[in-house]
Structure 1
């Protein structure tokens, strides 16, 4: 997915009272650059001239001023209207989110700003300097958190086949290891990273984790950087204040605030290859937009607790509506360490097959069990319905994937299972597999039985869970 280029799934509908609403994917993350992209240089030049003299803005070359509606917008994000669905009392949400990124979306954006006209002279207003309380950020404040994390946040621009993808990243090491989203750099021909001091550095991809939408890139010729402090996402509380930092719409170093709206949300987004990517996410109402992907979500101590990844959108509006999703830092840390140490991360293996298109709200029904898998060793069988992973409720197969994916290979998990009305608890020790493709990819590993969830198409016979094309 590209920060910038994707995300879809299901989500909660206030109109139906459902805690999860149905949504459909955009054609790719943010689409290929449209005509506005080609005009970027001219518009930037025209906008620069208008600002340089502090005079009135110059009209664009096409002769329209003010510009017609949507003149400065990037390519549209297509969204089909939600379909009615059965009301559910579950607290999980599967979102079809637009990746919080941007492909060629900066085209002409500068022209969207209008200068204020000159006002007649004659009135002079006085000003006073800020007091010490306004300048010195108190520990535990939004200001202090921003001051702590801004030096460790970077802007990432990747040249891809569709144009330019833009996202954000978090500095992990002083010599230039950067944590970001896989969809920000997937398919990049070259990558440029701009630090908080304005200096730009080329970067290369160290490794990626398609199933967790995580990537690590490394700057060339960088040293003495300020690494971020990673926090503990497992200790987060609903309602806790958080701060999001990134480069929405190319505006680097943007700081927004909100709260942790929910934990353990099942997030389903669409990858660059069209496959579904499912993970266990944090929900926040801190405004994040295209270009924020890969940037940090931090607590008020300035510790990174999540990596911003996806947003829910409404209709043709590709901006924030207060439904943002981040990858918990506990998951991202494990994956990033494995990438930095070996170049290839791992993911847990359960070994069952099912359909993420199914929406029974009664649990995850197992269609098949992979021979020799941890699931078979634990006694799971076709027809079983998993209703809990540990203490976490499971409403459908996507929930099962997200809950299992939140664990590490080798963890023992307790599954609550029903079959024919009888309930039992099954203890499973999860296996391990290199993460080279999204868990839902039927082709991962090159054949049947290679996927950690059964090795076959989890969509139930080849159907797209998003209800249609990409």
Structure 2
């Protein structure tokens, strides 16, 4: 992609919900905390609100009840970050902005790219359009852990980065196209949330925040998760979410 920077990410030790995980260049996978100053949803993307969902599930192998954000990309299909659903085996549901809950199951799981697809048979929410977009202004939508209120963060996409890092299990190196973000209060709990640019297009999926700079975060570029979403459009069979991430 034009304007992409080649950047070798250096691994450091981070703490993720009581477990250690090695991630690149200070990104911290998002899982916890509650934003205290959520802003109102901008009028230009108000129709997209109904397509951003929260989910919860039990990961018995690591004794955790996990919560996260995802968004509808195709009829009855939700995409989210794989590290959020890793280890989930039962009691899994998706809840829409109006408070309705729907049974869900994981039908695609990629620990390298950090993407998972959920099949939600009865989900009525309309799909969002995914496409690449140039750097510029965007909004991050999502739910914080333990809350039922959808929040929105004004975000600026600073640049595209071709980054080398580890998969969510710290077993192998992978190279991914990533968006470097700036903006206030990119709080934990928003992994899997969509980056929506003017016009309503999703151009990235939030998955990490910097440990050394509270106003810097990272999102997977659309080109990274589009092959996975496209490949799971008809998937209905549940698959393993493997073990909990480290």
TM-score where L is the length of structure 1? 0.43
Counterparts of 2:215 and 2:165 in 1: how far apart (Å)? 17
Counterparts of 1:330 and 1:336 in 2: how far apart (Å)? 10
Unaligned runs of 5+ in 2: 1-6
Map 1:296-315; keep pairs closer than 5 Å.
Answer: 296-314=194-212
User: Which of 139, 157, 160 is equivalent to 1:243?
Assistant: 139
Counterparts of 1:180 and 1:313 in 2: how far apart (Å)? 22
User: Which of 136, 147, 165 is equivalent to 2:46?
Assistant: 147
Is the aligned partner of 1:281 residue 2:174?
A: no
CA shift for structure 1 position 268: 2.4
Is the aligned partner of 1:30 residue 2:23?
A: no
Q: Which residue of 2 aligns with 1:264?
A: 161
Counterparts of 1:214 and 1:229 in 2: how far apart (Å)? 17
Structure holding more strand per residue? 2
1:155 match: secondary structure: strand
CA shift for structure 1 position 223: 4.2
Instruction: Work out which of the two has the higher radius of gyration on C-alpha atoms and give 1 or 2.
Output: 1
CA shift for structure 1 position 250: 3.4
CA shift for structure 1 position 274: 5.0
CA shift for structure 1 position 272: 3.5
Q: Which runs of 4+ in 1 moved over 3 A?
A: 19-23, 249-252, 272-278, 341-344
Q: Deviations over 1:105-138 (max 9, x none)?
A: 67xx9xx9xxxxxxxxxxxxxxxxxxxxxx9xxx
Is the aligned partner of 1:229 residue 2:216?
A: no
1:340 match: secondary structure: coil
Distance 1:250 1:267, change over 3 A: farther
Distance 1:189 1:21, change over 3 A: closer
1:280 match: secondary structure: strand
TM-score where L is the length of structure 2? 0.78
Structure holding more helix per residue? 1
Q: Which residue of 2 aligns with 1:213?
A: 114
**2:197, 2:203 within 8 Å by CA — same for their partners in 1?**
yes
Counterparts of 1:306 and 1:242 in 2: how far apart (Å)? 10
Unaligned runs of 5+ in 1: 1-18, 33-76, 80-93, 113-134, 136-141, 315-319, 345-435, 438-469
Map 1:177-188; keep pairs closer than 5 Å.
Answer: 177-188=77-88
CA shift for structure 1 position 150: 1.0
1:330 match: secondary structure: helix
2:165 match: secondary structure: strand
CA shift for structure 1 position 244: 0.3
| More RCO (CA 8 Å, sep 6+) | 2
2:71 match: secondary structure: strand
User: Which of 275, 291, 295 is equivalent to 2:189?
Assistant: 291
Map 1:40-439; keep pairs closer than 5 Å.
Answer: 94-102=24-32, 143-160=42-59, 161-174=62-75, 176-190=76-90, 191-220=92-121, 222-230=122-130, 232-233=131-132, 235-237=133-135, 240-251=136-147, 252-266=149-163, 268-269=165-166, 271-272=168-169, 275-286=172-183, 287-314=185-212, 321-341=214-234
CA shift for structure 1 position 217: 0.4
**2:71, 2:192 within 8 Å by CA — same for their partners in 1?**
yes
Q: Which residue of 1 aligns with 2:3?
A: none
Q: Which residue of 1 aligns with 2:4?
A: none
2:14 match: secondary structure: coil
**1:213, 1:277 within 8 Å by CA — same for their partners in 2?**
no
Distance 1:157 1:267, change over 3 A: farther
Counterparts of 2:12 and 2:187 in 1: how far apart (Å)? 18
Counterparts of 1:301 and 1:149 in 2: how far apart (Å)? 10
Q: How many residues align?
A: 225
CA shift for structure 1 position 145: 3.7
